[in-house]
Amino acid sequence: MIDFAAARRMMVDGQIRTSDVTDLRIIGAMLEIPREKFLPPEQASFAYFDLDVPATGAAPPSTGRRLLKPMVLAKLIQAAEIADSDVVLDVACASGYSTAVLARLAGSVIALEEDGPLAQRAAENLRELDTVGAQVVTNALGAGWPEGAPYDVIFLNGAFETMPSALLRQLKEGGRLVGVKGGPPAGKAMLYRLISGEVSGRPIFDAAAPMLPGFVQSPTFVF
């Protein structure tokens, strides 16, 4: 029988605190929220490993959606500098773990998932944990959720090769977007800001994450 509470403490001490995550709100949320509850039973034993864990069961693999490695998740959230009044769009929320963490920091969170069954699971998981200020919606990931815009923060649960312009248009002035650009072995966690109508970005740390559908660059032909 796995002692998930002990595994959670080991994850925070061994993966989060040692990675320069100093925001006590993030540390507290990741100590308290049972990550294993957001995984199918056959994946629960991997909940606190340094892995991108599949959010769906082995069969049928309805999506390739995964929960981000705890360290990558925590560092991206810290880089976004979320205030307790911020409105956050959580893109590719999968089964809702990232939303549960973000809801501990922000004023409100809209959790976006394009896979219907996963979105339903996310809503159920968040409800079971009495998560306040979170709403789950279903739409194409690259389209975002214009009805809730503009956002102070847009959080991408995965990697991208190209950023859909629809998401950038949903940022508030001064808003931040975080995610991982490119695939392994050369992926970079990125922080983008909208200042005076212009978006600029900078790398913040080396990272790898699963590629998100709708964020892959179209192939080009060279003659």
pLDDT at 17 over 70: yes
Most confident of 62-71, 93-102, 180-189: 93-102
% the chain with pLDDT above 70? 94
Domain assignment present for residue 172? The answer is yes
Domain assignment present for residue 220? The answer is no
**Domain interval for residue 178:** 4-206
19, 62, 95, 200: the active-site residue: 62
Q: Total domain count for the chain?
A: 1
Domain assignment present for residue 160? The answer is yes
List the CATH number of the domain containing 33: 3.40.50.150
Local confidence band at 223 (pLDDT 50, 70, 90 cut-offs): low
Residue 127: alpha-carbon gap to chain centroid? 18
Domain assignment present for residue 64? The answer is yes
62 is annotated as an active-site residue: yes
- How confident is the model over 74-104, as pLDDT tens digits? 999 999 999 999 999 999 999 999 999 999 9
Which residue carries 């214009």 as its tokens?
A: 146
Domain assignment present for residue 217? The answer is no
Domain assignment present for residue 107? The answer is yes
- Residue 122 is predicted with a pLDDT of 98
pLDDT at 63 over 90: no
- How confident is the model over 137-175, as pLDDT tens digits? 999 999 999 999 999 999 999 999 998 899 999 999 999
Considering the entire predicted model, what is its pTM? 0.94
